[in-house]
Chain A
Amino acid sequence: MTDAKKYSLEPPEVARNPHDTYREIRDNAPVAELAGRSQTGAVTLSRHEDVMRAFQTPEVFSSDPGAIEIGNIRPLVPLQIDPPHHRKHRKALDPLFAPKQMSKHEPRVRELIRDLIDKVVDQGHCNFHDDIAEPLPSTIFLELLGLPVSRVDEFLALKDGIIRPPARSMEERQEKVKATGQKIYAALEEVVEARMAQREDDFLSTLIDAEVEGQPLSRDDVVDIGYLFFLAGLDTVSASLECMVAFLAQNPGHRQRLVDEPEVIPHAVEEMLRYESPVASAARITAIDTEVNGCPISAGTRIQVLIGSANTDERAWDGPDEVDFDRESKKHIAFGAGVHRCLGSHLARMELRVALEEWHARVPHYRLADGLELQFSQGIRQIDNLKLVW
């Protein structure tokens, strides 16, 4: 393994603009342990070819819970279940998130984003994270899942307690994550209990009645699916919308194109997903001894799969550092690839498209607040201080 301790994704300027570092890692240390306190013992894969292999060979690159510490005591379903059991759970969940189902929720998404824009449009400035990007997907998701929207602030704090806990050491981090995990289980179990007594029109009720190969899901299964949805649904679309609006605020030519030609927005969404890769990495753990690019990796090694780097690898893309809404290839893997490809991708795409359509119709000209240095979080690239003026 190349000694790559000099490369790190953690400095704020790298988190903000990771592309140069991605390239250095790809060129000089494609299979390597990077610097940084979260990286100890983990091997990072950064080339498109290697990333695809990790995604497409789950028998080698397992999604076993050992791959990542996110506070759960049982595997998240279906994310941390490997084939063959993965398939039957996915079969039950895919129809819930299919494009046809998601398009039914488009009017509600549009209504909500309009309400959120109404609140800020006349004041000429906003914190896009607080005012738009966080409330929109989290409200939609809590409504879909069946968790009480009135408790949104509590749930968002729990989600952040897992994904970005304020901690000075790995030990402190693990303790906080574990404690937060218990609270998430408790919140979910309370709602699942209520739905078992009385069904509502929501995902948790659907899951309680769902059958996998003729068997109903267990109560634990429903909670374990809910835990995954909780983390995935409350965070990733917010971060994606923030990455996109931050890019557009700094690139007036691209922004103007969306204002003038809203029909380009779906393509812009795909291209910005590629370039920004808001979910920058995924976690795996090797199930057996293996070798990547001539570099041996022993069984039980944590693997960081660098999605953002694969999406900008010049070995796989022409001019990867250029953001081109007309780019012919939309082969990006911002939603991952292989059997664990993002279950909620069709919901995410619809929300991102509708949000960008409505925002640019109402606030066509906007820029970052003067002197603002954007702060991106690690892993899932949220921007807490996305202050815009117009």
Chain B
Amino acid sequence: MATGWKYRTAEAETAEAIDRRCEPRRPLGLRFALMRIRVETELCQGHGRCYMLAPDLFYADDDGYCHPTGERTVPAELADQARRALMNCPEDAIILTEET
């Protein structure tokens, strides 16, 4: 079962790109399913699976915990990464909602 997952640590450019994408506003005029993601900071214990497996959505902060945590829209091309992060958090700290 090949998954084609890539392993990398988010580089500085990636972190900036993620931050730029994390404007909490809701894109206008979307007609497809809208996926939103956030992290329960009280539950996150810094296992690091999310930024390992969803490197375009999360990166490690200076303490090794996932960042960013606030609710935001997941771009359609990153939906798979978002589901992967959800599935792999040992603390069930990632909250993913899909609406139409």
* B49 & A330 in contact (Cβ 8 Å cutoff): yes
4 A-B pairs closest in CB distance: A98-B64, A94-B63, A266-B7, A341-B45
Contact between B45 and A326 (Cβ–Cβ < 8 Å)? no
A103 touches B9 (CB 8 A): yes
Segment at the interface with B among A29-37, A159-167, A226-234, A332-340: A332-340
> What is the size, in residues, of chain B's interface with A at 8 Å between Cβ atoms?
26
Q: Which of B45, B64, B90 contacts A339 (CB 8 A)?
A: B45
Q: Offer 23 A-B interface pairs, CB within 8 angstroms, sorted by A.
A: A56-B91, A91-B63, A94-B63, A94-B64, A99-B48, A99-B51, A99-B60, A103-B9, A324-B1, A328-B87, A330-B49, A331-B89, A331-B90, A332-B90, A337-B45, A337-B47, A337-B90, A337-B91, A338-B91, A339-B45, A341-B45, A341-B47, A345-B48
Cβ-based interface call for B97 (8 A): no
Q: Which residues of B contact A (CB under 8 A)?
A: 1-3, 5, 7, 9, 45-49, 51-53, 60-65, 84, 87-91
Q: Interface size on A (CB < 8 Å)?
A: 27
CA–CA, A328 to B49, complex, Å? 12
By beta carbon, the residue of chain A nearest B53 is A330
B2 touches A333 (CB 8 A): no
Q: A262-273 interface mask toward B, CB cutoff 8 Å, 1 = contact, 0 = none?
A: 010011000000
Report the Cα distance A93→B41, complex, angstroms. Answer: 18
A266 to B53, CA, bound (A): 11
Beta-carbon contacts under 8 Å, A253-297 to B: 263, 266-267
Cβ–Cβ < 8 Å partners of A333 in chain B: 90
In the complex, A195 has a CB within 8 A of chain B: no
Interface string of A101-118 (1 = CB under 8 A from B): 001000000000000000
Write the nearest CB–CB distance from B4 to chain A, whole angstroms.
9
A98, A266, A332, A346 interface centre (most CB from chain B within 10 Å): A98
- Tell whether A100 is near chain B: CB-to-CB under 8 Å: yes
> Cα distance A310–B5 when bound, in Å?
25
How many angstroms from the CA of A66 to the CA of B7 in the assembled complex?
A: 40
Minimal beta-carbon separation of B51 from chain A (angstroms): 8
Specify which of A94, A99, A329 lies most central, judged by the most chain B CB atoms within 10 Å of its CB.
A99
CB pair B89–A266 under 8 Å, yes or no, is no
